[in-house]
């Protein structure tokens, strides 16, 4: 009887996990930037052989501002886990996972391109989706979205994102 890789990993990481949440049956572990690389290596050894996704979230104006999110999958044991590290806006950098999964290469370039988060130890960190001479990081919350107004007859034109206004967040 093989053990669930989630149990192996949570046991191994133990106290290095800063926060542990479960929402809709999905387990999220928040780690420190220092402990991140070791945790990813431990996850791969525990059976999470597939780096499904690597992305970031801009939580502006909350600090620390950015979250780097790793979605890991164990195809044999059929389980998933989400690992996170929170970083400040100034000197936003996390260790690169390219040595653990080669596939992290492009995913990290994408996060760098759209959020401006650096990955220390990445072999070739440059823009991937945006043009090389682009200024700014488009997925940051303070990067403006350019939109063309929609013409409604008898009304002042609105840009698409203002047609239905944003309701206030909960909490």
Partner 1 sequence: MSELTRETLVLNMGPQHPATHGVLRLLLELEGEVILGTEPVIGYLHTGFEKEMETRTYHQNIVFPPRIEYLATFIEEQAYVLAVEKLLGIRAPKRAETIRLILAELSRIASHLVWLGTSAIDLNVSSVFMYCFRDREQILDMFEMVSGQRMMHGYFRIGGLQWDLPAGFTDHVRTFLDGFPASIDEFETLLTDNLIWRQRTEGVGVLTAEDALRYGCTGPVLRGSGVDYDVRKAFPYGGYEEYAFDVPLGEHGDSFDRYKIRLEEMRQSRRIILQALERLADGPIAVDDRKISLPPRPELVRSMEAVIHQFKLVSEGINPPVGEVYAAVESPRGEKGYYIVSDGSNRPTRVRVRAPSFSNLQALPVMVYRRTIADVVVVIASIDIVLGDVDR
- Residue among 11 and 63 whose Cβ is closer to partner 1: 63
Q: Measured between alpha carbons, how far is 47 from 66 in angstroms, rounded to an integer?
A: 27
- Residue among 17 and 50 whose Cβ is closer to partner 1: 50
Angle at alpha carbon of residue 89, lines to 83 and 92, rounded to 5°:
60
Report CA Rg, the chain.
19
Angle at alpha carbon of residue 28, lines to 17 and 55, rounded to 5°:
105
- Residue among 69 and 93 whose Cβ is closer to partner 1: 69
Q: Rule CB under 8 A: which residues touch partner 1?
A: 23-24, 26, 28, 49-53, 55, 57-59, 69, 71, 73, 75, 78, 80, 82, 101-103, 105-107, 114, 127-131, 138-139, 143, 145, 160-161, 164, 166-171
Report the nearest approach of partner 1 to the CB of residue 53 (Å): 4
Q: Is residue 29 within 8 Å of 84, Cβ to Cβ?
A: yes
Report the nearest approach of partner 1 to the CB of residue 60 (Å): 10
Q: Measured between alpha carbons, how far is 163 from 158 in angstroms, rounded to an integer?
A: 6
- Residue among 11 and 106 whose Cβ is closer to partner 1: 106
């Amino acid at each position: 009887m093989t053990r669930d890789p989630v149990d192996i990993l949570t046991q191994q990481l133990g106290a290095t996990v800063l926060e542990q949440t479960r929402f809709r049956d999905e387990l999220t572990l928040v780690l420190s930037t220092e402990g991140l690389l070791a945790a990813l290596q431990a996850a791969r050894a525990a059976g999470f052989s597939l780096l499904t996704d690597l992305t970031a979230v801009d939580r502006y104006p909350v600090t620390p501002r950015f979250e780097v999110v790793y979605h890991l999958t164990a195809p044999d044991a059929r389980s998933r886990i989400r690992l996170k590290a929170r970083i400040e806006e100034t000197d936003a950098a996390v260790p690169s996972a390219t040595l653990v999964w080669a596939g992290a290469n492009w995913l990290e370039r994408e996060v760098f391109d759209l959020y401006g988060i650096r990955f220390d130890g990445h072999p070739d960190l440059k823009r991937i989706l945006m043009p090389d001479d682009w200024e700014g990081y488009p997925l940051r919350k303070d990067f403006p979205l350019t939109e063309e107004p929609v013409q409604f007859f008898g009304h002042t034109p609105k840009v698409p994102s203002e047609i239905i206004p944003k309701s206030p967040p909960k909490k």
